[in-house]
Amino acid sequence: MLGYMWQYVYTSFLRYWLKWLIRHVTGKCELQRICSGHKACATTTTKAEYSLRSSKNKVLRGALETSKNNLEQCVDQIMKEKNVKPEKDPLFKESLHICLLQITGYSSLFISVEDVRKEVFTSENPEHEAMLLKLWDLLMPTVKLESRITKQWGDIGFQGDDPKTDFRGMGMLGLINLVFFSENYTEEARQVLSHANHPKLGYSYAIVGINLTEMAYSLLKSGALKPHFYNTVLGTPELRHFHQLYCYLAYEFDKFWLAEEPESIMQFNQYREKFHSIVKTHLQDPGVSLTLTVHSQN
């Protein structure tokens, strides 16, 4: 209770006067102190985001909703509002611009990911079908698929004879992630598949992969992935950056599963949550970078 009261008093009253005092002592506004002379990273961008969101100035708060094409003009408006002279602080403009690219880009990335997730896999779409068959060819290059609907799909971890039913929750996002991993990290994807087909420690490769897509999606939606993207993308994150995060999760989950040696696949949810907690703990580190360290094929 006392913590909430202190937070209210600080954000409503003390913070404003503290900022005023420090500005008069240093000659710099809060955003200048955050951005100027500091490299783009999660610490810098997170502080800038908090400063903008907490501001009583409509121009500063509105910067968080600005489109990418208007960001340069937005930065100029902020500099005018805060009376920042570019000749006195030449590093500020570029640094703030990068922070805003990352902040607004994260929101844009979620919209893009959500659009792909909402796209339903349909057999009537030749592009969808081609992508599904491509997944088979990437993972099973020496085995010919007997027909489109076949029990062979179980060999790469689908539940039934027709994989389309397994994409209901994550839509095309689940399939695109599986293909991205297999295409860009082919050797690693096949290695993970071989582990998934282990007689004792095996699991359903494709189903678990779609489950990890849901994990990545949930982390993105909650904002938990901001430190990762702020540290790894110097600008606006794109869909490929989300797919690369998925590759990290797929590869690391396989290592985690083998190290834990579960007694049965029936314990999947228990170990899934344990892995989820590990990932969220990593994301508490300001310097976090959930990046697959093996070499990509492309």
Q: Which two tokens stand for residue 123?
A: 């057999």
Q: Which residue from 53, 48, 54 is spatially nearest to 13, judged by alpha carbons?
A: 54
Q: State the Cα–Cα distance between residues 215 and 218, nearest whole angstrom.
A: 5
Q: What is the pLDDT of residue 16?
A: 54
Question: Which residue, of 98, 117, 136, is where some domain finishes?
Answer: 117
CB-neighbour burial class of residue 126 (10 A; exposed 0-12, middle 13-18, buried 19+): exposed
Identify whether residues 102 and 129 lie together within a single domain: no
Which of 117, 139, 157 represents a domain boundary (last residue)?
A: 117
Distance CA 75, CA 162 (A): 51
| The total number of structural domains that make up the chain | 2
What pLDDT is recorded for position 10? 46
Is 291 contained in some domain? Answer: no
Over the chain (298 residues), the average pLDDT of each successive run of 10 is 53 54 63 82 95 92 93 95 90 93 97 98 97 98 96 96 94 98 98 96 97 98 98 96 98 97 94 98 97 75
108 occurs within a structural domain: yes
Residue 146 sits in the same domain as residue 164: yes
Of 117, 143, 177, the domain-final residue: 117
Residue 292: inside a domain, yes or no? no
Q: 144 with 63, same domain? A: no
**Residue 170 placed within a domain:** yes
Range of the domain at 265: 124-284
In 3D space, the residue among 128, 140, 214, 139 whose CA is nearest the CA of residue 175 turns out to be: 128
So what's the pLDDT on residue 6? 47
CB 169 within 8 A of CB 232: no
181 and 232 fall within a common domain:
yes
Whether residues 82 and 184 share a domain: the answer is no
Please tell me the distance from the alpha carbon of residue 95 to that of residue 223, in angstroms, as a whole number. Answer: 22
CA atoms within 13 A of residue 229's CA, in its CB half-sphere: 32
**Other beta carbons less than 10 A from residue 53's beta carbon:** 12
Length of the chain: 298
102 and 192 both lie in a single domain:
no
Q: Which residues contact 85 (CB under 8 A, 6 or more apart)?
A: none
User: Do 8 and 33 fall within a single domain?
Assistant: yes
Q: Residue 39 has what pLDDT? A: 79
Measured distance CA(202)–CA(135) in Å, rounded: 20
Amino acid, single-letter form, for residue 5: M
pLDDT for the residue numbered 26: 60
Contact (CB, 8 A) for 78 and 96 = yes
Both 145 and 90 in one domain: the answer is: no
Instruction: Specify whether 84 is located in the same domain as 225.
Output: no
Task: Give this prediction's pTM.
Answer: 0.90
Pair 171, 74 in one domain: no
Cα 50 to Cα 55, 60, 188, 248, 262: the distances in Å are 8, 11, 39, 28, 42
pLDDT, position 281: 98
The closest alpha carbon to 178, from 250, 275, 255, 272, belongs to 250
Distance CA 103, CA 97 (A): 10
pLDDT of 293 = 85
Structure tokens at 280: 């969220």
